[in-house]
Every structure is written in C-alpha cells, then in structure tokens.
Chains A and B, each alone.
Chain A
Amino acid sequence: MIKDLYELDLGQTGVITSIDGGRRHHLTDLGLRVGKRVTVLTRQPFRGPVVIQVDQVTLSLGKGLAHKIKVEVA
C-alpha cells in the first residue's frame, strides 16, 4: 500500500517509492532516495515535523516535505 510519509504511524517502516517537488535534490543529498527504508521515530503534535531514520541516520522533515514522499508499506 502506498502512503504519504507523514501518514505513517510511530515506529512504522516504509520503502520510498517516489519523491515529488522541487526540493527533491535537497532530500536526496541527505540520503532520501527511491528504494530506501525509512522508519518514523517521532511525530510532533500540531502538524509539526516528523523525525525519521534512514540508513542509521536521523533526520527531521517538515510536514509539507513529508507529504511529498511516498512510501510503500508492507
């Protein structure tokens, strides 16, 4: 099932299938590429950023950005 990264629950893991938007390069630079496994570490309330883990690295992404990343959930 394909979901938004932002829609994942705490602790869920997904594999990136696509990244939209103009900031794609920025995301790629930080290690988010198609095929990578990401896990949601924390979610901030009030539509705040989401903190994820990819390749043993911890990143924090704003809501808008997280919506642009589509992942495949098992």
Chain B
Amino acid sequence: MKVLLLGHPNVGKSVIFNRLTGADVISSNYPGTTVDYKKGLMRHRGKDIEVIDVPGTFSLEPRDKAETVALDMLRDHPQARIICVIDATKLERGLYLALDLIEKGHAIVVALNMWDVARDKNISVDTVKLASLLGVPVIPTVAVSAEGLSTLMDRLLAVEPTGIAEVYMRLKLAGLMTGQTCNGCSGCIAGQSCALAPSVLSSEERWALVEEIARRTVIIGHYRHTLKDAIGDYTVKPLTGTPFAIAILYAFWSIFSTFSGLITDGFLVKAFDRHWLPWLQRWFPGGPGTWIYSVMVDLGHTTDGVWTASKTCLESFGVLTSGLYLEIGVVLPAVFIFYVMLALLEDVGYLPRLAVLMDTFLHKIGLHGYAIVPTILSLGCNVPGVEATRILETKKQRFVMMTILAIFIPCGAQIAIMHDVIPQYTGFVMAYLFLGYFVFGFFLNRIIPGTTPDIIMDVPVYQRPILRDVRRKVAMRTKSFLKDAIPFVTLGILIVNILYAQGAIDNLARASAPVFEGWFGVPRQTAGPLLAAFLRKDLAIAQLSAIPMSKYQLITAIVLVSIYFPCIGTFFMMLKEGGKAFFGSLAVLISVAFTWVGLLHLVWIVLGVQ
C-alpha cells in the first residue's frame, strides 16, 4: 500500500515521515527535476506500507517546481492514501490544501500536527466537529513525540475518498452556509450530497469555505506572550537581533575551528602523515621516481639530483596521499560540523530569523536572505554550497549566487592550508574576498537582467531540536557529500598530477609568466602553481609559500588562487546546477581575476611597497 504525505513546508511532514519510516530511506530527485522527495517503508498492523514524503506545497495549482512535482506524484499514484499534514496553529492555510485534495477525490486523513504548540498558544480546534464537517478523519498529532501517529495510521487504513459536494452539504445541514441557495429541491441525496453544490471550487470559493469551517472549529484564546515569544521577537528585530546574530556566527566559527582543530590537527594529520603515507611509500608498486608512483603517492623533492621522500601528506602531492588527506582529513570534518550546526539552527527555528536580518543586505546584491545558507556551507566545501543554491527561486539569483560563491568563498581545505602556511595573512585574504563577494554581487545584480523577488516567509516559533531528526538529516547530507564531491575532487587531483608529470604545466607556465609578472606583480615561478590551482587550489597555496617573494606578492598570489574556481568538484557541480550559465560564470571569473586582483597589485604600487 502506498501513502503520500502532503502539506505545506515546515508543518512537520518530515518529522512524521521520520517517525513512521525506519532506517531505509531513499532521498532522490523526482525524475527530470531538481526537486527532492523521500521514500521509506513501514509496517502497521501487519501491512507493508510505502511512505512517500512529497515536497511541501501550498496548493495543487502548479505554480512552482515543488507543486508541479506534487501534482505529478498524485497523478502517478492515484490509489495512494494521503496524509494531509496541517499545522494546528495555522489551520486555515492547511484547510485550503485539504479541501483541494477532497475535491479531487482522494482518500485522505488529516493530521493536525503541532498540537502541543497550538495548546501553548491558546489555540484549540474542535477536531470532532472538523472531522464531521470535512467527512474525513482528523487526528491531532505531536510528531516530535510521535503522539497520535498510531491512531493516524489506523484511521488511514480504513479511509475512503469523499468529495466537495459532501462537504458543502454537511455545512448546509449544520446551518452554516448562509446565503447559499437551497430551495429544497429533490437534489438532496439523503444527507449525502447536494445536486446544486459545485464539485469543483474556484480559489475564492475555496477560501470562503475554509473561513466558514475555521470559524466553527477554531477557538483562539487570549494570546499570551510567553518568554519564548519575546525572545522570538527580539531575535528578529534589528536592534536586538543583530548582536544576537553576531554571537551565533561567532559560535559557528568558533565551534568549527575547535572541531576541525581537534579532528584534523589532533588526529587525522598524525594518522595520515605517520601511518598512511609511509605505508604507501613503502608498498605502492613502482617505487620512487616512476611515473605512477609520483602521481599516485609521492612526487618527492629533488635537490641536486638526489630524490628525497616527502614527510607529510600535504607536500607529497599524490592522489592517494594528498588527495585523500585533504578530502577526508580536512574537508570532511569541516563539512560534517557545518551540517550539524546548520541542522541544529534550522530545527530550533533560528535560520529564518537570520535570513530576515541578512535579507536587507543580501537583497542589495540581488539575493534572498536564505542565501546565507549556501554561503556558510561553502566555507566547509564549495560543492554542497553550490548545490544548495537551488533553494533560490530565480535563475538569475542562482547564477549570481553560484558564481560569487565559487569565486569568493574559500572552502575548508583552502582555509586550513592558508592557516597552516600563512596564518598571519589569512584574515586579510578572507576580508578581501568577502569584500569582493559583495562588490561583485552588486555589479552582477545590476548587469544581469531579471528582478529578484521579494522575500516572503514564515518566521516559526522556537522549538527544541529533536536529536534524532538532526542525526538523520546530517547523515543523509554527509552521505551525499561523500558521493558527489569526493570522486570529482580525486579526479581533478589525478588530472593535475598527470599534467605536472608530463610537463604540460611547466610549458604553460613559461608561456603565461609575463602576464603573472606584469599584471599581477608576482614572481614568474608562481605561474606553475597558479595554473595548477585551477584544479588543485589548496595545494597551490602550499607550493606558493615555498617560492621566495615579498609578503605583498604572496598575498596577491593567494588571493588569485582563491578566486579561481575552487576544485574540479565545484566545476562539475556548477555545470550540473547551472547548465549553460556555467560559461557565464567562467567569463565572470576571468574578469574578476583580472580586475579584483589587478586592483590589489595597484594598491600595493600606490602604497609604494611594490
């Protein structure tokens, strides 16, 4: 038997889904779209049930991607039972969707979720009356504690489809529909349906019906302003909310540094440098100097014709050594902790408030307040960051965001290596990059046609995050990171290493050296690492630090490296998410590199240091 979970976003659908299904959850794109949905299995009273979490929709009119997918899913599973999840504190909104479903003849059960929040807000719903008016079972639930879910499933197994005409009839019988024509014709089918009642409603008619039903079933008590509400307000008001946001971002960054410091510097560096590397150096076929060994394990250093092995994974440049070290030792812990913190902020209800506070500024560069999420994610790894741009509504927004993310936001690996190799300049480099983020975001917004739609979103009540759901969310996102990012990054490293080994990089470096020296003001030896940086940014930084140059040249070189497209993983993700727009991003990248970094060189000249 199939069950579809429908409802608005943020009504607790996913929580219900998590409570009902076991561990075998598949999250995938609906074929031909970028909209995700989840599928899982459960057993209830001996029956095997497949539960599908349909993307949140407000109605069944196909107005955006999510709604189109929802409609398609309803069409593809006509026999499925439906659980329509409604937020008990926002009954009217949810009723609109429920009536639409009833009208379309589906067999539905209404889960009136967040019953506990409604109680706290002094809102009470007469579920018995509501059920009798709608003609479908209405079960109050508190998904976070799984209350009511068993009853919900019981009623679901027994439910039958009904129709709008029946709803109309029941309201009329209850004497509620005043002004509706009823001249006592024999169109009545004994309390079942009215021949004069429409079977399909217009939007206005549906809302009118919603209001009638809500008026009779919802009792709003005195609105008590609780401490939680007061904090909820203060954290979204600019005067009090901004300091709070600054504190939250401080916590974010501090926890990120501490965690990656512990896992990466504390343990993984040791594991990789003192165990993995020597082991590979010893056992990998080929031995030092051979082509395959150099590319996969260790390039080593050759001074005066004597080859010496590398001592750390970082300097070895091998696909299996540097590559794996960076991906698993540096980026993975970073991405993981970011996912955990974002999930916590999301589930507690803070993220929308942050988005509201940031929207003022982000709107000026043509982005939505929620664009803060891909930005933060990109600091861990650009690949999921770019992927996250799909939460933005318009093509223009996605393009701008994707481009400035890829160009100006350094990923965890870059930051780690910057910190390792040039800790004293890291702050400056990052500041210059963030400045570029806003400046170029602003320009791109002006140049590219299209408007940015205004923000419109719910600001939810604060609630305690449920650890179980956070765990699940993080696990799913980390798994997809491992699947998407790592193979491509490894591929990039392989390609660069081969190019280096073949000498292609050196040739290209010789040819382009004049540009680097003249326009950017960096020594010609940097050309090699800078070109390779296109595919292996983080390593380039390490290589650059070994070349003798002034600190200003070094800063310029590192900013240049950071501005290139991150790694080949991001490259592919941008192609995937942006399609043809990717080439536009490439064009922007080249112009940024020449202008923004050239500007920096100019600044040094003006200051007289170069």
Instruction: State the A residues within 8 Å of B (CB).
Output: 23, 25-31, 33, 41-49, 51, 55-66
Contacts and interface: CB of A to CB of B under 8 A. Distances in A.
Interface residues on B, range: 35 or more
Closest 7 CB pairs of A and B: A62-B454, A48-B360, A29-B58, A58-B459, A42-B237, A65-B454, A62-B455
B63 to A, nearest CB: 7
A71 to B, nearest CB: 16
A49 B458 CA distance: 12
Contacts of A29: 58-59, 93, 96
B455 A56 contact: no
Contacts of B237: 41-42, 51
Given A30-B93, A42-B237, A59 B59 contact: no
B454 A61 contact: yes
Nearest to A32: B456
Interface stretch (B280-288, B351-359, B420-428, B442-450): B351-359
Contacts of B89: 56-57
A60 B352 CA distance: 9
Nearest to A41: B233
A61 B456 contact: yes
B459 A23 contact: no
Residue among A25, A28, A44, A46 having the largest count of chain B Cβ atoms under 10 Å: A44
A41 to B, nearest CB: 6
A65 B452 CA distance: 12
B238 interface: yes
B353 to A, nearest CB: 9
B231 interface: no
Given A44-B357, A45-B238, A23 B453 contact: yes
Nearest to A31: B93
A25 B454 CA distance: 14
Interface of B: 58-59, 61, 63, 89-90, 92-93, 96, 121, 123, 203, 207, 220, 223, 232-233, 236-238, 352, 356-357, 359-361, 363-364, 369, 453-460
Contacts of B352: 60
Contacts of B360: 44-49
Nearest to A64: B454
Given A25-B59, A26-B63, A56-B220, 12 more contacts: A28-B207, A29-B58, A31-B90, A41-B236, A42-B238, A48-B238, A48-B359, A51-B356, A59-B456, A60-B352, A60-B459, A65-B455
A55 B456 contact: no
Contacts of A66: 454
Nearest to B460: A58
Contact of A49 (B59, B93, B455): B455
Contacts of A57: 89-90, 458
A30 B458 contact: yes
Nearest to B93: A31
Contacts of B357: 44
Nearest to B451: A64
A56 B123 contact: yes
Nearest to A65: B454
A9 to B, nearest CB: 14
B58 A60 contact: no
A62 B363 contact: yes
Contact of B63 (A25, A44, A47, A48): A25
A62 B121 contact: no
A62 B359 contact: yes
Contacts of B203: 25, 28
Contact of B232 (A26, A45, A58, A61): A58
B454 A63 contact: yes
Given A57-B458, A60-B459, A62-B363, A42 B236 contact: yes
Contact of B455 (A28, A47, A61): A61
Contacts of A43: 238
